[in-house]
Amino acid sequence: MEKGFETTDTWVLFGDPTLQLITDTLSNIEFTTASSTTLGTNYLEIETSLEDAVICITQNDSILVASHIYKGNNKLEFNKIGYSDTLLITATAKNKTVLIKKIAVNEGNTPFVNIQECTFTNEVKNTHITYNDTIYNSLQIKNTSNKDLSNVTIKK
């Protein structure tokens, strides 16, 4: 049996998880949030009158957060935004049309750096660290804003 047929047979038996079951007339999802945010921010606030909706915030095809939101003000927290690329907010809810909003990410007034790579090795440049090894650290950082850095200090 071909794999495609097996998949569709399974969906018929258990249901297609991507299928949206509509039980009423579709209406629009409505929520409010900032039209822009700043590099380094680690949350967005979303206000809605919906009783239950699912929100997913992405940047560069990576999910920052996916969560249910409820009537009132919702604070969605995620790792700090490290790039000035647009955020996409996708909202879904029962008997609602899917809503996608774009949120601009501004540079702000200060430079922002991201750790690009961090590696630890021992004396023989091996990443297998054993008892009593001396550990060496290699750290690569990148200024992801359009602002110049000066007087950069890395502390213990």
pLDDT digits (tens, 9 = 90+) for 14-49: 666 667 778 899 999 989 999 999 888 899 999 999
Whether 1 shows a pLDDT value over 60: the answer reads: no
Q: Which residue has the tokens 């299928």?
A: 19
Whether 156 shows a pLDDT value over 70: the answer reads: no
Q: Is residue 5 part of a domain?
A: no
Whether 57 shows a pLDDT value over 70: the answer reads: yes
In terms of Cα–Cα distance, which of 100, 92, 85, 99 is closest to 36? 85
Domain residues for the domain of 72 are: 20-106
Q: Is residue 70 part of a domain?
A: yes
Distance between CA atoms of residues 11 and 16, nearest Å: 5
Same domain for 53 and 119: no
Same domain for 31 and 102: yes
Same domain for 129 and 98: no
Query: What b-and-e string marks burial along 72-87, b requiring 16 or more CB atoms within 10 Å of the CB?
Result: eebebebeebbbbeeb
Whether 115 shows a pLDDT value over 90: the answer reads: no
